[in-house]
Amino acid sequence: MVSEKGIPPAQRLLDAAVQLFYAEGIHAVGVERLIAEAGVTKATFYRHYRSKDDLVVAYLEHKDTTTRAALLGATAGLEPQQALPALFAAIAAYSCGPGFRGCPFINAASEYPDRTHPVRQAVTAHRTWLRTTLSELLAALDHPEPESTARQLVYLRDGILMAGYLDSPDAVDATARHALLGIVGEHTVHN
């Protein structure tokens, strides 16, 4: 149970969602289970979240915030030539970490096929931020095609996150580095 004295009910619900949605899947976890784990009443749940989907969006926004902080932290103070390898090394390390169960955004998208659904819009917002961030890094490196290359790097990230769940950390790290150099060119980045 997530419930602790002093933690507001909305936060307890979000904490339960972060834990359960990621570990078990969004559709596998019902509102009753979230309520029980958070130690709140049904009325409290609906006072803070109009629906389970609203809590799913809050979960993804939380994951977006923490992912942005981690990736920006991995590149803080680095020149663009070092930032790209550092960013992809952080992604590879994260994907091979304990408790990793795949990309929370890809996992959510697989459960919500309707691209107009608010959950898919939250997934799209995260991917747009990542693509824009990568494009800006590539532009700072005077890459000739920053936007299309950034899209390729997002796809590389997707693959790294899946491989991290399935393969060994050493293989994921080495392959990620090699693929990054193949996409952006060795002259663009410095390990």
What tens digit of pLDDT does each residue of 147-180 get? 999 999 999 999 999 888 788 888 888 888 889 9
- Tokens standing for residue 5: 């004295």
CA distance 64 to 44: 25
Q: Are residues 155 and 104 in the same domain?
A: yes
Residue 36 clears pLDDT 50, i.e. is over it: yes
Q: Are residues 45 and 136 in the same domain?
A: no
Q: Are residues 109 and 122 in the same domain?
A: yes
Q: Are residues 62 and 3 in the same domain?
A: no
Which whole-number Å values give the CA distances from 108 to 46, 71, 105, 121, 155, in the listed order?
A: 22, 20, 5, 11, 17
Q: Are residues 78 and 169 in the same domain?
A: yes
- Does this model's pTM top 0.85? yes
**The total number of structural domains that make up the chain:** 2
What CATH number is given to the structural domain containing 139? 1.10.357.10
Q: Which domain holds residue 171?
A: 53-184
DSSP H helices in the chain: 9-24, 31-38, 42-48, 52-75, 80-95, 104-111, 118-140, 146-166, 169-184
Mean per-residue pLDDT, 88-105: 90
Instruction: Please say whether the beta carbons of 67 and 161 come within 8 A.
Output: no
Residue 3 clears pLDDT 60, i.e. is over it: no
Mean pLDDT of the chain: 92
Q: Is residue 189 part of a domain?
A: no
Q: Are residues 22 and 112 in the same domain?
A: no
pLDDT tens per residue across span 46-91: 999 999 999 999 999 999 999 999 999 999 999 988 999 999 999 9
Given 33, 49, 65, the domain boundary residue is 49
Q: Are residues 86 and 173 in the same domain?
A: yes
CA distance 89 to 117: 32
Q: Is residue 191 part of a domain?
A: no
Q: Residue 191 — pLDDT band, cuts 50, 70, 90?
A: low
